[in-house]
């Protein structure tokens, strides 16, 4: 019976190779195969050893993408060949990265693994914008939320009252297309339209851009075609320029 290989789930951070951890670089250099997300590609793959199989399995909103079941099956198949496999995920794989489904597949196949955290994209976005995610006296709570469900729509089970809390810093992942609807729902629960907001696009990439305004202005900005760049939205007491 073939001894299964070993899978390292590696958080790639926001895409800047200088933000990789030393452990992440080590695993890339030793991997026989690297299965990578779109946002974890580019110069980061330059750390992979020559001859390693590089397999793109990324999913992007609005584009043809492999099914999660196919990605999990591919990961298991590579691991069962007996080598070292890196599953390279953008940001930190434990934040909206479908990590649990891939872990379940490995456990069912008896494949050992490790999880190497990466710089969360929310932290990288705040750093790029020059703001903290917490602020003494005015923002003692940070909340992360996904901006769309499996169908691409605004999730119907989010806690809108919590998201409308003016004393929390909120970070919305994958929310450009649904933010106008979210902003309307938040306004109905009392969040002022003048609440400061930031749109941080392509964080860590050469095309990185940061837009600052208000929740109402951002909703209007995104009401048309929001564009293809990946983005995070921050709003609350931390997003302004006091």
Q: Could you report the per-residue pLDDT of 103-119, keeping only the tens digit for each?
A: 999 999 999 999 999 99
- Residue 148's pLDDT band, with cuts at 50, 70 and 90, is confident
pLDDT of residue 239: 58
Q: Could you report the per-residue pLDDT of 32-72, keeping only the tens digit for each?
A: 999 999 888 889 999 999 999 999 997 655 555 678 889 99
pLDDT of residue 65: 65
pLDDT of residue 67: 86
Domains of the chain, earliest start first: 6-116 (3.40.1010.10), 121-235 (3.30.950.10)
d(CA 39, CA 13): 9
Closest CA to 177 of 147, 145, 215, 144: 147
Average pLDDT rounded to a whole number, residues 87-94: 94
- Residue 206's pLDDT band, with cuts at 50, 70 and 90, is confident
Q: Strand pairing of 113-116 and 6-11? A: parallel
From the list 16, 32, 37, 165, the catalytic residue is: 37
pLDDT of residue 64: 54
| Other Cβ atoms closer than 10 A to 203 | 27
Q: How far apart are the first and last CA of the chain?
A: 64
Q: Is residue 37 annotated as a catalytic residue, yes or no?
A: yes
From the list 23, 26, 53, 59, the catalytic residue is: 59
């Amino acid at each position: 019976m073939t001894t299964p290989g070993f899978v390292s789930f590696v958080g790639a951070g926001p895409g800047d190779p200088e933000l990789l951890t030393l452990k992440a670089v080590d695993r890339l250099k030793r991997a026989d195969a690297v299965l990578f997300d779109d946002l974890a590609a580019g110069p980061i793959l330059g750390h992979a050893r020559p001859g390693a199989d590089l397999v793109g399995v990324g999913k992007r909103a609005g584009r043809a993408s492999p099914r999660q079941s196919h990605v999990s099956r591919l990961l298991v198949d590579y691991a069962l060949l007996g080598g070292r496999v890196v599953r390279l995920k953008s940001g930190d794989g434990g934040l909206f990265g479908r990590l649990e489904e891939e872990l379940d597949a490995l456990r069912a196949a008896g494949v050992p693994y490790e999880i190497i955290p990466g710089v969360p994209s929310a932290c990288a976005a705040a750093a790029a914008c020059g703001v903290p995610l917490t602020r003494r006296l005015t923002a003692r709570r940070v909340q992360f939320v996904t901006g769309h469900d499996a169908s691409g729509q605004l999730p119907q089970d989010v806690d809108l009252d919590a998201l409308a809390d003016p004393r929390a810093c909120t970070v919305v992942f994958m929310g450009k297309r649904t933010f106008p609807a979210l902003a309307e729902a938040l306004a109905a629960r009392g969040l002022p339209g003048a609440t400061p907001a930031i749109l941080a696009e392509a964080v860590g990439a050469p095309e990185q851009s940061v837009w600052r305004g208000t929740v109402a202005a951002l909703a209007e900005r995104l009401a048309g075609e929001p564009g293809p760049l990946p983005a995070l939205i921050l709003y609350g007491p931390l997003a302004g320029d006091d």
